[in-house]
Structure 1
Amino acid sequence: MMKQLVLAAALFGIFSTAALADDRYATRPPVVLSPDLTAPWINQLGGGTVRPVVYQRPVIQPQRGLFQRRVIRQMPQPAPQTVSAINPGIPAIRHPIEPQFLPQMVDYDTTEKPGTIVIDTNNRFLYLVMAGGKARRYGVGVGKPGFEWAGVHKITRKTEWPDWTPPAEMISREAAKGHYLPARMDGGAENPLGARAMYLGSTLYRIHGTNAPWSIGSAVSSGCIRLRNEDVVDLYDRVSVGTRVIVM
C-alpha cells in the first residue's frame, strides 16, 4: 500500500510539473530592460531602432554638517535668439535693455536751441534739447562699423508704421552674403522700421523704431538711428517736420 502511495505521488508531481511548465511558457513575458544598460546588444532587440536612455547625473554638492544632501543642479539654458531683419542670418541675442538707455531727463549743457535733436553715436544716446539746461535722453542703436556717419539735417517727413523698401545697395550687399531681402515690406510689428520713422533731409537715413529692441545700445544698423518703439513714439510726438538733427 505504501509503495502505491509513493508511486501515485511521484506520478502526480511529474504531471503537475509538466502542466506548470506548459502554462509558464505558453505566453512569454515581455523583456524589461533597465535604461541604464548601454550594451550594444540592446540595440538589436528593436531592429536597430532602440536607443539607450541617457539620464543627467545629479551633482553632489557638500552641505555643512554631518550629512550631505543630493542636489540636482539645473543646466543653464541658452539665451533665446532671433535673426535681425536688417542683417538676416546673423543671430542677435535678446537681452534686457540696459537702464542707462531708458528715457530720462538729464542735465545737458549746449548752445543748441530747445527742440533740437543731438545724436551722440559713440555713446549711443539721442538728446532732445529742453529749456533750462536739460535734455530728454533716449538710448539708440547706431550704424555698425563701416556705416558710421555724421552731419546736420532736418526732419523732412514723419510716418507712422512706415513701409520698408530696402535700398538697392543693401539688397545687393546682403545677396552677396546669401541673405535675400524683400523688395518691400508693409508697415507692422514685424517691420524693421518699427512704429514711427522720421526721415533726415534727402538721405536714406531715418530715426525710426525697431522690431529688435534688444539691439538698443549697439552698433547694428546700416546708418539709421533706431529707438525702441515706445521711445520713438514718444519722440515722434515731441518734434515736427523741420526739426534740426545733429549726428556726431
Structure 2
Amino acid sequence: MIVDKSNHRLAVVSGNVLLRNYKVGLGGDRTPEGSFVISEKVRNPNGRSDGVFGSRGLALSDSRYAIHGTDEPDSIGTDESLGCIRMLQEDLEELYDLILREQPLK
C-alpha cells in the first residue's frame, strides 16, 4: 500500500499493478511518513460497527496510528484527523479483506 498525502489517496499495489485506489482523510503534518507494516487487524475498534472509528481498523507498526473508518464521511479528502488515515466504511471493509497482517505500507 502507498499513501499519497498530497492527493489524499491510498493505493493498493502488487508489484507494478494498481489493484485499488481509495480517497482518504489524513491529518496533514500529523500523519506519519515512512514505511510501516499492518501489525494488527481489528473488527469494530469501538466495540461496535457504527463507532467513531468505523467497523474496521488496521494498526500501523511502532506507532499510535491506524487506518480506520470514520463517522464523519465529509472528512475524507481533507486534513482533519489527528494523524490517522480515515476511510469510508465500505472502502475500509474492502481493504480489510484484501490486506494481510504484516503487509507493508509506505
One of 32, 36, 58 as aligned partner of 1:153: 36
Q: CA deviation at 1:214?
A: 1.5
Q: CA deviation at 1:148?
A: 3.5
3-state SS of 2:19 partner: strand
Pairs aligned (count): 106
CA distance in 2, matches of 1:242, 1:148: 20
3-state SS of 2:74 partner: helix
- Greater fraction of residues in strand: 2
Q: Considering only aligned residues, what root-mean-square deviation do their CA atoms show, in Å?
A: 1.5
One of 19, 24, 27 as aligned partner of 1:135: 19
The answer to whether the aligner puts 1:187 opposite 2:33 as a matched pair is no
In the alignment, structure 1 segments of 5+ residues that lack a partner are 1-116, 164-185
In the alignment, structure 2 segments of 5+ residues that lack a partner are none
- Greater fraction of residues in helix: 1
Q: CA deviation at 1:220?
A: 0.6
Q: CA deviation at 1:192?
A: 1.5
Aligned partner letter, 1:201: S
CA distance in 1, matches of 2:38, 2:5: 18
The alignment-based identity, stated in percent, is 33
Aligned partner letter, 2:43: E
3-state SS of 1:134 partner: strand
CA distance in 1, matches of 2:91, 2:99: 13
One of 97, 102, 106 as aligned partner of 1:237: 97
Q: 1:131 to 1:245 in 2, by over 3 A?
A: closer
One of 121, 130, 148 as aligned partner of 2:5: 121
Q: CA deviation at 1:136?
A: 1.0
Equivalent residue for 1:214? 74
Check whether the contact 2:31–2:85 (CA below 8 A) recurs between aligned residues. Answer: no
Q: Tell me the alpha carbon deviations over residues 141-166 of structure 1, each in whole angstroms, 9 at most, x when there is no partner.
A: 0014x514201110010011112xxx
Aligned partner letter, 1:149: P
Q: 1:132 to 1:224 in 2, by over 3 A?
A: closer
Q: CA deviation at 1:131?
A: 5.4
Check whether the contact 1:130–1:136 (CA below 8 A) recurs between aligned residues. Answer: no
Runs of 4+ aligned structure 1 residues displaced above 6 Å come to none
Q: Tell me the alpha carbon deviations over residues 185-217 of structure 1, each in whole angstroms, 9 at most, x when there is no partner.
A: x4331x221110000002110001111112110
Check whether the contact 2:8–2:26 (CA below 8 A) recurs between aligned residues. Answer: yes
Check whether the contact 1:199–1:206 (CA below 8 A) recurs between aligned residues. Answer: yes
Aligned partner letter, 2:44: W
